[in-house]
């Protein structure tokens, strides 16, 4: 059955945190969650942009419950601070959408010594999830949604040089970070089920969307594509947000699912189950990545 947001019951008692919600996919997801009654917490690196996004959303949804939270996913101290602030303000968390991300920046090591895409897209969300999972009710409507990408299919976890110091590639680092998100999804789902928990860990990818995530790509290339290929293979952030909403809200999901567009090469189209690359299912690598991520971030999942 095709996912339809209008079939989802009112979510007035639910609290949802969406990272990277000041624009693009994150804002589209936050708007939809607020529209069906969730308290939407916009967790963003720029609090100023988050407040502007909140203002814009309130113009369209004047009765919505929308809050903001400052978080820099690339800095583990900021993640810890944000999680502590959230717990002081709220007694529970029902939906966590690990959406924030960067794409194709120049090589940078964060203050923690992590490659910037791996830190922002993956490790920061891994730590955030570990810090907040104990605030989630043990029920199937409690959701952790990791936003992956079609790029995970070309991804590889470079265990010998995880931060790609010796041989950096913008594209390879991005693919690694998005593969890691999907692997976290699968391994967390396994661990939740082993612990007898009902909380659901899912993943989603938006397909090819028109958003500011591609801001680090070549301007002349993006301009050329804007008037040729992009209109044929991309869709709006609103359409791209549907798989993320399905992962976060579908009443039929058993957990450990990966959702995405069902059209040509999964670039656009109605949402449904997406293809998972075989490297994301390697059991030994799933466990190894989890253990390495725990060691790097100091994360501990209280399951």
Active site residues: 174
Joined tokens for residue 14: 């639910």
CA-nearest of 79, 66, 75, 59 to 40 is 66
DSSP-derived letter for residue 237 is H
**Across the beta sheet with 271-273, what order do the strands follow?**
65-70, 39-44, 15-19, 95-98, 143-147, 200-204, 258-261, 271-273
- Listing DSSP states for 64-89 in one string gives -EEEEEE--TT-HHHHHHHHHHHHHH
DSSP-derived letter for residue 61 is -
3-state secondary structure of 261: strand
The answer to whether the beta carbons of residues 157 and 289 sit under 8 Å apart is yes
Joined tokens for residue 158: 């470079």
Which H or E run contains 39?
strand 39-44
Give the span between the Cα atoms of 288 and 283, in whole angstroms.
Answer: 9
Alpha helices in the chain (DSSP H): 24-35, 47-60, 76-89, 116-118, 124-132, 170-194, 219-226, 230-233, 237-240, 242-249, 283-297
């Amino acid at each position: 059955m095709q996912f339809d947001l209008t079939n989802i019951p009112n979510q007035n008692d639910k609290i949802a945190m969406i990272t990277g919600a000041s624009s693009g996919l994150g804002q589209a997801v936050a708007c939809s969650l607020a529209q069906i009654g969730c308290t939407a917490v916009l967790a963003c690196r720029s609090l100023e942009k988050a407040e502007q996004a909140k203002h814009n959303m309130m113009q369209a949804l004047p009765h919505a419950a929308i809050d903001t939270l400052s978080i820099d996913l690339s800095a583990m101290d900021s993640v810890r601070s944000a999680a502590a602030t959230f717990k002081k303000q709220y007694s529970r968390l029902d939906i966590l959408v690990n959406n924030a991300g960067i794409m194709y920046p120049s090589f940078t090591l964060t203050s923690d010594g992590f490659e910037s895409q791996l830190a922002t897209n993956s490790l920061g969300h891994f730590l955030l999830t570990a810090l907040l999972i104990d605030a989630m009710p043990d029920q199937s409507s409690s959701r952790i949604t990791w936003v992956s990408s079609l790029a995970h299919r070309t991804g590889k976890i470079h265990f010998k040089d995880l931060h790609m110091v010796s041989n950096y590639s913008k594209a390879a680092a991005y693919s690694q970070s998005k593969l890691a998100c999907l692997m976290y999804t699968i391994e967390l789902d396994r661990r939740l089920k082993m612990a007898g928990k009902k909380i659901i860990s899912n993943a989603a990818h938006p397909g090819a969307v028109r958003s500011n995530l591609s801001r680090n790509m070549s301007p002349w290339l993006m301009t050329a594509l804007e008037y040729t290929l992009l209109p044929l293979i991309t869709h709006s952030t609103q359409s791209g947000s549907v798989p993320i909403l399905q992962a976060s809200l579908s009443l039929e999901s058993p957990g450990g699912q990966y959702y995405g567009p069902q059209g040509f090469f999964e670039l656009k189209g109605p949402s449904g189950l997406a293809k998972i690359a075989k490297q994301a299912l390697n059991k030994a690598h799933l466990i190894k990545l989890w253990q390495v991520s725990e060691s790097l971030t100091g994360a501990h999942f209280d399951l």
